[in-house]
Structures are given as C-alpha cells and as structure tokens.
Amino acid sequence: MSVHKNVLKVIGCCLETELPITVYEFAGTKILSTCIFATNDEPLPWKCRLKIAIGIASAVAYLHTAFSRPVIHRDIKCSSIILDQNNVPKLIDFGLCISIPEGESHVEADVIVGRMGYLAPEYGGRGYLTEKADVYQFGILLFELLSGQRAAYFMMEHDITDIGKLCFGKLSNFIDSRIKNERIDQVQLLDFATLSRRCISYEEEERPTMIEVAKELRRIDQRFPSPS
C-alpha cells in the first residue's frame, strides 16, 4: 500500500513495546482540515486544492484496483490527509480499511463505523459496503475543497446531495471566499462541482468509479490550467 506517492509510507514496525507500533515516514505536520477550515491561516490557492484532489483520487483508485482484493478506506476526509512541505497530499488513517472478499462484490458490515452524515446511504443505512462508499466520501471532500466549509455545517440546512442543484446558477455562493480573487475559470469550477455532485449521488450505481474520478480531475486540470 505504501508504494503510491500519495499514500503515507510504512517504514517498519517497532516490537519493543507491549503492543506493536507501525512506523510511518515523516511527511510533514500540516493536516488538510486545518489548511482548509482555519480562517487565520493563509488559504490554499485553488491550483493547490485541485492538485490535492487529483493526488488523493489517484491514491484511492490505487487502493481499489492494485490488489487482488479491493481495499475500501472508509474514512476519507480532510483530517485523513496530510501535506508535505510542497503540499503534496498523503492519505493516512487506514484503521478502518476493509477488503472485499475474493469473488464477492461487496461486504455486509456488522458494525457501521465512520462519521454520520459522511457515510454513503447504502452503508450507513444497511451496512452494504462497496468501493462506491469511498467515492461518496470523496465527493464530500471535493465539496469541502471548493467551499472551504465543513460539509457538516452545510448539512444543517441542506441535504448533502443538493450540492449540485444549488451550485448551478449560484456557484459563487459556494466558492470559498478566500479564493474568489484568483482568476479561476468558471467552467473549471462548475465541472469540479458537478463531479462532486456525481460522487455523492444517492444511488451507488450513479456514482463514477475512482478511476473515472481521477481521470475527470486530470481533464479539468489540463483543459483549464489554473493561472500561476
């Protein structure tokens, strides 16, 4: 799992303690949630946010496809991502990961874990777990990168699946005010918001795969390059 550049690398294991301790690389102390939600810090520019989304999409797609049994992260959120000194994102917090058994298409989870409101409906409601649960959480991550606000606050007044409908025609209401002065292509922002909406579709069949998500993010980045 640690060969991907956007996954925190495992260096080894310490056996000199009562319980074994996994040792990871030191990749920095910046947590994405602090960088996005803290109002007293210098905001991450849009170009950086887009690169973070691309990197984490690639990491999650790697978990889903690089192994004989797909690995579902189950805890994709801003606080599960750290940034190195160059703002390269690293996915962390693998304690809730679960593999889909060989020959099966899903897992029936006995215990539902994760933050309520951030769980895919089919998982939070009946414990039905596929890779599309990660896609749902990634869609929420995209919303938070775009808006600079916690999705939990948004959900106090709206259903999270309303994001796409509310963005169309009112996109400026959802963009982080701290990046509004940047010269960002409006079509790029709309495409980003649309992808977020697709990822958090209520029906899992309507959500794209993480490979498709990563491909679309790269298209958005390359077709509408952010200004330097």
Which active-site residues does the annotation give?
75
Tokens 């606000």: give the residue. Answer: 149
Distance CA 103, CA 148 (A): 40
Cα dihedral: 107, 112, 114, 117 (round 10): 100
Nearest to 78 by CA among 46, 125, 34: 34
Distance CA 171, CA 223 (A): 20
Cα dihedral: 28, 33, 35, 38 (round 10): -130
Residue 88 amino acid letter: V
Distance CA 227, CA 204 (A): 35
Helices (DSSP H) in 95-224: which residue ranges?
A: 121-126, 131-147, 151-154, 163-167, 186-199, 210-223
Neighbours of 19 (CB within 10 A): 6
> Are the C-beta atoms of residues 73 and 63 closer than 8 Å to each other?
yes
Distance CA 220, CA 191 (A): 7
